[in-house]
Structure 1
Amino acid sequence: MRLTPDAWIFWQYGFFKLNATIVFTWALMTVLVLGAALITRRLATGHQRSRWQNLLEIVVTAIVGQINDVGLQQPHRYLSFLGTLFLFIAAAALATVIPGYEPPTASLSTTVALALCVLVAVPLFGIWGQGLAGYLKSYMQPTPIMLPFNLISEASRTLALAVRLFGNMMSGAMIIAILLSITPFVFPIVMTLLGLLTGMVQAYIFTILAAVYIAAATRRSKAANAPSSTPDT
C-alpha cells in the first residue's frame, strides 16, 4: 500500500522522476482549464443560460460571498487566487471516485506548494493594499521587538496549512484503501462518500484560512495607523 502518490513512479531517469503526484496534478489542472474555457466560451447575459454557466455563477457567487464575509474589501480582487485554491483542492477530492486515481493533495509536496502559494500571496496582497512601507512597518507593531515573532508566525502558519491538508487527505485515502482490502465493497463506498465530503470541507477550510491571513495582512497596518477616537481634552 502506498502512503502517498509520490511512491507511484511512472518514469525515472537518474535523479528525475515522473510520479503520480505530478501526473495527476497536471491532469487535474488541464481538466480545470479546459472546463473553464468551454463553460466561458459562450456566456449569456439574458434569462436563457446553459446549466454549466448557472453552475459556474453559483460557485463564483458563493466564493465571493465567503471572501466578503471574512472581511476583505473588494472581494473580486482576491477571487482569482482564492477561487483557484478552492477549486483545485475540491476537484482533487471529488476525482477520487475515478478508479486508479490518487489525489495529489495526499502528497506533502503538493500541500507544501499550496501553502507556499499562500505564503507568497499574503505579502503581495498586503503590499498591494498598504504599500511596501506600510506592510513592512506592520511587522514591527506594536513594537520593533515583535519583528522576529511576526516572522516566525508567518513561517509556522504556512507549515500548519501544509501539514493540516496533507494529514487529512492522506488519512482519508489510507482508510479507504485499508477497508477495500479487509471488508466487502459496500462499506468502502460509504467511506468514499464520506471522504468526498471531507475533501470539500478541507478545501473550504484551506481557502478560508488563506483569506483570513490575507485579510490580516491588508488590515493590520491600517488599524495600527488609525487615529484614536478619544476626544482631546
Structure 2
Amino acid sequence: MRLSPDELIYWQFGHVKINATIAFTWALMLVLVVGSKLITRRLSHGLQRSRWQNLLEIVVTALEKQIREVGLRQPRKYLGFLGTLFLFVAISALCTVVPGYEPPTGSLSTTAALALCVLVAVPYFGIADQGLRRYLASYAEPTVIMLPFNIISEVSRTLALAVRLFGNMMSGAMIIAILLTITPFIFPVVMTLLGLLTGMVQAYIFFILATVYIAAAIGVRKDRPDVEAPPEA
C-alpha cells in the first residue's frame, strides 16, 4: 500500500524521475488551463447564457463574496491567486473517482508547494498595498523584540498549512484504500463520496486560511484612520 503518490514512478533516467505526484499535478494544471479557456471563449453579456458560464459565474461570485467577507475590500485583485488555489485543491479531490488517479495533494511535496505559494503571496500583496518600508516595519511592532517571533510565526504557519492539508487529504485516501481491501464494494463507495465532501471542505479551508493571511498583511497592519475632531461649540 502506497503512503504517497511520490512512491509511484512512471519514468526514471538516472536521478531524474517522473512520479505520480508530478504527472497528475501537471495533468490537473492542464485541465484547469484548457477548461478555463473553453468556458471563457464565448462569454455572453445578455440574458442567454450557457450552463458553463452560469456555473463559472456562481463560483466566481461565491469566491469574491468570501474574500470580501474576510476583509479584503477589492476581491478582484486577489481572485486570480486565491481562486486558483481553491480550484486546484477542489478538482484534485473531485478527480479521485477516476480509476488509477492519484491525488497530488496526498503528497507532502505538493502541499508544501501550495503553502510556499501562500508564504510568497502574503508579503507580495502586503508590499504592493503598503510599500516595502511600511510592511517590513510591521514585523517590529509593537517593539523590535517581536521581530524574531513575527518571522517565526510566518514560517511556522506556512508549515502548519502544508501539514494540515497533507494530513487531511492523505488520511481520506488511506481510509478508502484500506476499506477496499477488507469490505464489500458498496461501503467504500459511500466512503468515496464522503472523501469527496472532505476534499471540498479542505479546499475551502485552505482558501479561507490563505485569504486570512493576506488580509492580515494588508488590513490589520494598516494605520487606523484618523478620528474626526469634534465640532466646535
Are 2:15 and 1:42 aligned? no
Match of residue 176 from structure 2: 176
Please tell me the residue identity of whatever aligns with 1:204.
Answer: Y
* Residues in 1 aligned to 2:3 and 2:194: alpha-carbon distance in whole angstroms: 20
| Aligned-pair CA distance for 1:205 | 0.3
CA contact (8 A) 2:71 2:219 kept: no
The answer to whether the 8 A contact 1:137-1:221 is kept is no
Mapping of 1:190-205 within 5 angstroms? 190-205=190-205
Unaligned runs of 5+ in 2: none
Residues 148-184 of structure 1: per-residue CA shift (max 9 Å, x gap) = 0000000000000000000000000000000000100
Q: Give the length in aligned residue pairs.
A: 230
Correspondence for 1:136: 136
Q: Distance in 2 between matches of 1:202 and 1:8?
A: 24
Matching residue of 2:221: 221
Could you give the per-residue CA deviations for residues 2-47 of structure 1, whole angstroms, max 9, x where no partner exists? 0010000001111111000000000011011101000000000000
Counterpart check, 1:10 vs 2:31:
no
Q: Tell me the equivalent position of 1:88.
A: 88
Contact 1:5–1:19 (Cα < 8 Å) also in 2:
yes
TM norm structure 2:
0.96
Contact 2:70 2:211 in 1 (8 A): yes
2:147 matched to which residue of 1? 147
Distance 2:39 2:226 in 1: 48
| Contact map agreement 1:138 1:220 (CA 8 A) in 2 | no
Q: Distance in 2 between matches of 1:221 and 1:188?
A: 48
TM-score (norm 1): 0.96
CA distance in 1, matches of 2:6, 2:77: 35
**How far off is 1:186 after superposition?**
0.3
* Identity within the alignment, %: 74
Write the distance in 1 (CA, Å) between the matches of 2:184 and 2:119: 43
Contact 1:5 1:107 in 2 (8 A): yes
For the 8 Å contact 1:11–1:17, the answer to whether it is kept is yes
Contact 1:92–1:104, Cα closer than 8 Å, also in 2:
yes
Aligned to 2:28: 28
| RMSD between aligned residues | 1.3
Aligned to 2:110: 110
Q: Name segments (4+ residues, structure 1) moved above 2 Å.
A: 225-231
Amino acid at match of 2:35: G
Cα distance in 1 for partners of 2:58, 2:227 equals 41
Gaps of 5+ in 1: none
What is the letter of the counterpart of residue 42 of structure 1? R
